[in-house]
Chains A and B, each alone.
Chain A
Amino acid sequence: MSATLEKGIRVLKEVIDAPIASYFNSCVHCGLCAEACLFYTETGDPKYTPIHKLEPLRRVYEQEYTLLGRLKKMVGLSRAVTDDELDQWQELVYNSCTLCGRCSAVCPVGNDIVYMVRKFREGMSASGHAPEGIKGAVNRTVTVGSPMNVKLPAVQAQMKHVEDDYGIPIPLDAEGAEYMVMLSSMEIMNFPEYLGAVAKIMQQAGKTWTLCSTAFEATNAGIQIGNSDLAKVIVSRIVEGAEKLKVKTVISPECGHAYTALRWEGANLIGRPFTFEVKHIIEVLGEFQAQGLLKTEGFSTDRLTFHDPCQLVRRGGVIEQPRTLMNMVAKNFVEMPDAGYMNWCCSGGGGASAIEEGEELRLQAFKKKKSQFDAVNPDRVVTACANCRIVLEESLEHYQMDIPVVGLTEMIAEHIPDKSPQAAAKPEGA
């Protein structure tokens, strides 16, 4: 057994807990999880059945943690997990799983399959079987600070642009601000309007906020590849930044996995509860709306639909807020079939969009999303995740569908009236 395989198996043994044991013992091979997975429904290939993606993990469980399995192993009746096998499983665990969690939502015996995939990736990563594309993203995030090699000067250049365009100062390292706003590299490079939108919204709400020079990148490829050690390094930067600036709330950008990494995994990665709150920007907007701090004017009249990022709805519990916000600014908002809790993935989540060799499969799986779009025929698609957005844009282009994709935060900001002189003189809470 190679040293890396040994390490991988050791990690797999460590991640197996009572829920995983209970799940493996409950599976009756009914195959219903396949019906919930877009990689199965769009290809018809049974190897993409979610529970099958965990077969090596199941065998490690059986051989290490069950009496019968240990007996079988002793007398040589069981097959050990090999490097070749894990190599084959790379496609199943990464390329064809976006951690969307639909399988966990349908399993009749209640198995949280995506919980197991996330844990299995820890072993895959430790044994050196993670895809190169995500490895690169993690390494860049750990060494440079961003999966796309974005450094502070690039952020500062964007800040300058936004300040010029919107006439609103962008605070950096402002100690004691209420909110610390995080960004994703995708937003810094491709969707700079996000930062402008946040500035406009914060100004109207009269809230203090800041960016942090040592922690501006929210995305965490360590979570996607399944390496808790690296994920911890990335999260720790944000925790240090937030505690140094003494902010009350850290705002996750429009990015699904950044939210999961910070909101749900962060405290567990660093081994203690956070001293600050974590909210997705859409949650913050929902609160502002409820408190009457978000006032929009006018409506978009074109046909709009909302694509729910998986990590925000099924994996995050932010379901109603986007609908309330959409209705504030859209006259013609239509829901796709299965929208909300059971929405279908953009097909590029969970690190899948970073895997070059998985592109063909991803585009095939996108046909599920395409059918949802075809059902309502929208003029524009609104979403709240920069990764969903780029994946949707690229896939729509591939299928020659001319549907622009926009972020919900910037769409809300477009409907916020430019600041009146009176308001400028007396910002609330200043």
Chain B
Amino acid sequence: MNELQFLTWVRGPGLDIAVGIFLLGVLWRLFEIYSLGRKKDLSAPRHTSGASGLHTVFRRSLPPPGMLKRSPVSYIGGYIFHIGLAIVVFGFAPHILLVTNLTGLSWPGLPSQFVDLAAVVTMAAMVVVLVDRINKPAKRFLSTFEDWFTWAVTFLPVLTGWMAVQHLLLPYTTMLALHILSVELLLVVLPFTKLFHAFTLFGSRWYNGRVNGHKGVPV
């Protein structure tokens, strides 16, 4: 397989397989989790404004009182790399073009120099949170193979995408093919690892907000 055949495969059958596993995986996992249901709370509710599932879905995006100071790297690093990923994934014109070709949806892209910068900042932030995971006793203690693996699987698409655009190390075609392959790997593992928090986070915050909202506590 030469580099062109490689690119053709990752753009064609490779992408189909990855997207298929991703979509079916997400649907199955969501069903597997939320079909477990929960018991109705029979205690008399207390109503307080700001105490509900939906409130918590939004409120939990900000650090609770005192927490930013206790773990600044987690919060600042976390914000930067999540926002950076969103900019790179949804703001880069060629990515939008791909989505337009697949679904017909379209939105304006961001200047490529800005996306470049975002990619570099995102990678830097990801390295910082990785170092923090190694340095902080609680983080290191909790870490398993999955934590290092999912970090790498998230990092690689950014790195290879950026290198392809910058024409670094390998010919553009090869690097682009590697980039697409790394995204496919990400799609395949996402539903079955902690990366699935991208979906369950909303349900988790909602349950927490709702269970405590029943008691009149805005969490």
Contact = CB atoms under 8 A, between A and B. Distances in A.
A31 B139 contact: yes
Interface in A287-328: 313-317
Interface in A22-52: 22-23, 25-32, 34-36, 40, 44, 46-47, 49, 51-52
Contacts of A175: none
Contacts of B60: 107-110
Contact of B211 (A36, A49, A107, A115): A115
Interface residues of B, number: 60
A258 to B, nearest CB: 14
B137 interface: yes
Contact of A65 (B32, B38, B44, B71): B32
Interface residues of A, number: 60
Given A29-B142, A44-B137, A46-B141, A21 B33 contact: yes
A17 interface: yes
Contacts of B44: 267, 273-274, 277-278
Interface in B5-59: 28-29, 32-39, 41-44, 46, 48, 51, 56-57
B199 to A, nearest CB: 8
A395 to B, nearest CB: 22
Interface string A83-125: 0000000000000000000001111111110010000000000
A32 B67 contact: yes
B179 interface: no
A34 B138 contact: yes
A235 B74 CA distance: 43
A28 B200 CA distance: 11
B143 A29 contact: yes
Contacts of A263: 43
18 contacts: A18-B38, A23-B207, A27-B197, A28-B197, A29-B143, A29-B147, A30-B139, A49-B142, A51-B142, A65-B36, A104-B208, A106-B64, A115-B211, A274-B43, A313-B217, A314-B219, A341-B217, A342-B66
- Main secondary structure on B side of the interface with A: helix
Given A31-B138, A108-B78, A16 B43 contact: no
Interface in B150-186: none
A49 B141 contact: yes
A80 interface: no
A10 to B, nearest CB: 16
A79 interface: no
A110 B203 CA distance: 9
A25 B38 contact: no
Contacts of A273: 42-44
Given A51-B142, A111-B208, A315 B70 contact: no
